[in-house]
């Protein structure tokens, strides 16, 4: 929150009901899908916590005004139907929340939620039977959700990975759309065991914090992270990624009628009062509890207002990187790199985090190392192409995109990246060709549809371009803002 100078203004405040406050905060309503998957036939025994956790969280969300669907032990088809129903309930301006407890697996640097009937023996099976978290958030974004929240308790050792890996890889960092808040129950690439009880430590701490009136969602999740870390003695450290651009409280702050008196007016010499110590044996008042500050989470550099120019990496990179120094995700990946300087995957993942936060030069350096260690890392080439395109290093970006497509012809992400590059370069015919190729592979790729529309407009194909732009805006109301963040308007 930004601190502002207090001014004495005598006002009579009207009483406002919590329901009215929530309606003002989220014009499209609050919708949620809560899933607890416990009975996996491939596991030795059912998981103890997912179903109870899902029921407890669903009950609390209902009290807070969410329209909640609850699913227990869902098959793949049932999960997809439940998600389709959530998408249909998501309207422009909605707050949309997804909670999943069960088994999760990362593959291709994405995190997948696993249905109970998944048949997973090889890594490609994960992508076939699992549900991609990035895809879910992208679809919610395309439906116009103003706030997207994902709470994922799936960092568990599972019976599937051992069939194709020698270790449990945990979950992967996520590049989520703007105004998203994502929380994993454990750090990236790590797994935790159940605590033996019927309820998880993760949901227990989460419920405590989201019940606090007026507490912003990001702060609530950070406080839950601190609570889990303390209670587990740092054996379990949840991971959070946020690109929220505005405050969103689960429970609105109560509004009271108050008239400031002269004694209450802060002065220039005023000092904050020291909280009185709690009595021995008596719990401290939660309102007076002092927690250490959470790690700094830099807002997503691409969550900018339309018309804003892209950030200057020379000016911002060092500041952002220093702000991320104490972030648990960056710390974990940096420690892995220190222990094993040949860990190409750790370099790649840290590069993803830096890129998502706007530390573009640091991201390029990590992608450089990932490619040096694995010259055939097609996704590292594509990500470096995208970052270089954002900061207008266009000739170098073109080489990266071309190499990614040489290594993997018809790689849709690289076609989309190169289309953006050609659009920024003024090569509109080439941009149209790249976006065309991407859309043949994925007709719902909104960034390619909108990019093609802009390229067509600038190439003189106004009517075709207008159709593309209008269609893309209908699929993703935030697409204009996203491209403005790339420096394209």
Across the chain, which distance is largest between two alpha carbons, in Å? 77
Number of H helices, E strands in the chain: 18, 9
Name the DSSP letter for residue 297. -
Sign of CA dihedral 114, 77, 437, 421: negative
Of 8-17, 122-131, 147-156, minimum mean pLDDT range = 8-17
Of 87-96, 232-241, 414-423, minimum mean pLDDT range = 232-241
pTM over the 0.75 mark: no
Q: Report the pLDDT value the prediction gives residue 116, as an integer from 0 to 100.
A: 95
The count of residues in the chain is: 489
Q: Report the pLDDT value the prediction gives residue 235, as an integer from 0 to 100.
A: 85
Query: Among candidates 240, 27, 79, 258, which has minimal Cα distance to 152?
Result: 240
Q: What span, in angstroms and rounded, lies between the C-alpha atoms of 328 and 234?
A: 11
Interval 112-134: pLDDT, tens: 999 999 999 998 999 999 999 99
Q: Which helix (H) or strand (E) holds 370?
A: helix 360-373
User: pLDDT band at 469, cuts 50/70/90?
Assistant: very high
Cβ 102 vs Cβ 133: under 8 Å: no
Q: Report the pLDDT value the prediction gives residue 25, as an integer from 0 to 100.
A: 47
Q: How high does pLDDT run on average in the chain?
A: 80
User: pLDDT band at 314, cuts 50/70/90?
Assistant: low
Higher pLDDT, 142 or 19: 142
Q: Report the pLDDT value the prediction gives residue 325, as an integer from 0 to 100.
A: 73
Helices (H), 41-185: 50-63, 76-89, 123-129, 133-142
Q: Report the pLDDT value the prediction gives residue 320, as an integer from 0 to 100.
A: 77
User: Is the pLDDT reported for residue 264 higher than 60?
Assistant: no
Q: Report the pLDDT value the prediction gives residue 315, as an integer from 0 to 100.
A: 58
Q: Report the pLDDT value the prediction gives residue 298, as an integer from 0 to 100.
A: 36
Cβ 173 vs Cβ 133: under 8 Å: no
Q: Report the pLDDT value the prediction gives residue 125, as an integer from 0 to 100.
A: 92
Q: Which domains does the chain have, with CATH numbers?
A: 18-242 (3.40.50.1460), 313-485 (1.25.40.10)
Interval 376-413: pLDDT, tens: 988 899 999 999 999 999 999 999 999 999 998 888 88
Q: Which two tokens stand for residue 442?
A: 């994925």
Q: Report the pLDDT value the prediction gives residue 102, as an integer from 0 to 100.
A: 96
Q: Report the pLDDT value the prediction gives residue 182, as an integer from 0 to 100.
A: 95
């Amino acid at each position: 929150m930004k601190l502002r100078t207090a001014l004495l203004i005598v006002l009579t405040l009207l009483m406002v009901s919590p329901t009215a406050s929530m309606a003002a905060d989220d014009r499209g309503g609050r919708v949620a899908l809560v899933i607890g998957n416990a009975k996996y036939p491939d596991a030795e025994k059912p998981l103890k916590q997912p179903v109870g956790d899902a029921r407890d969280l669903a009950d609390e969300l209902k009290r807070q005004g969410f329209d909640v669907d609850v699913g227990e032990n869902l098959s793949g088809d049932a999960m997809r139907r439940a998600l389709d129903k959530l998408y249909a309930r998501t309207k422009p301006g909605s707050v949309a929340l997804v909670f999943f407890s069960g088994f999760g697996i990362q593959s291709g640097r994405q995190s997948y939620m696993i249905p109970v009937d998944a048949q997973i023996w090889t890594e490609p099976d994960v992508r076939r039977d699992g549900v991609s978290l990035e895809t879910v958030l992208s679809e919610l974004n395309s439906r116009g959700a103003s706030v997207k929240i994902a709470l994922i308790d799936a960092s568990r050792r599972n019976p599937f990975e051992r069939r194709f890996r020698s270790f449990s890889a945990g979950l992967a960092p996520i590049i989520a759309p703007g105004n998203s808040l994502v929380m994993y129950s454990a750090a990236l690439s790590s797994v935790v065991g159940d605590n033996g009880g019927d309820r998880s430590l993760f949901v227990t701490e989460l419920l405590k914090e989201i019940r606090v009136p007026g507490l912003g969602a990001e702060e609530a999740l950070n406080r839950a992270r601190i609570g889990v870390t303390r209670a587990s003695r740092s054996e379990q450290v949840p991971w959070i990624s946020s690109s929220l651009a505005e405050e969103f409280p689960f429970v609105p702050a109560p509004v009271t009628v108050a008239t400031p008196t002269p004694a209450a007016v802060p002065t220039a010499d005023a000092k904050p009062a020291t909280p009185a110590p709690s009595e021995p044996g008596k719990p401290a008042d939660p309102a007076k509890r002092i927690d250490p500050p959470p790690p700094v989470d830099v807002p997503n550099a691409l969550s900018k207002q339309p018309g804003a120019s892209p950030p200057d990496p020379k000016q911002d990179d060092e500041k952002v990187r220093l702000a991320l120094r104490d972030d648990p995700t960056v710390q974990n990946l940096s420690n892995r790199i220190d222990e094993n300087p040949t860990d190409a995957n750790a370099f790649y993942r840290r590069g993803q985090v830096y890129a998502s936060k706007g530390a573009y030069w640091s991201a390029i350096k990590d992608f450089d190392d990932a490619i040096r260690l694995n010259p055939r890392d097609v996704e590292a080439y594509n990500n470096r192409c995208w970052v270089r395109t954002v900061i207008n290093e266009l000739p170098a970006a073109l080489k990266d995109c071309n190499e990614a497509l040489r290594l993997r012809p018809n790689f849709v992400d690289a076609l989309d990246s190169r289309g953006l590059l050609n659009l920024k370069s003024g090569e509109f015919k080439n941009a149209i060709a790249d976006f065309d190729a991407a859309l043949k592979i994925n007709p719902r790729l909104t960034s390619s549809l909108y990019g093609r529309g802009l390229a067509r407009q600038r190439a003189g194909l106004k009517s075709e371009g207008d159709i593309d732009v209008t269609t893309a805006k209908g699929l993703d109301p935030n697409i204009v803002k996203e491209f403005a963040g790339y420096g394209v308007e």
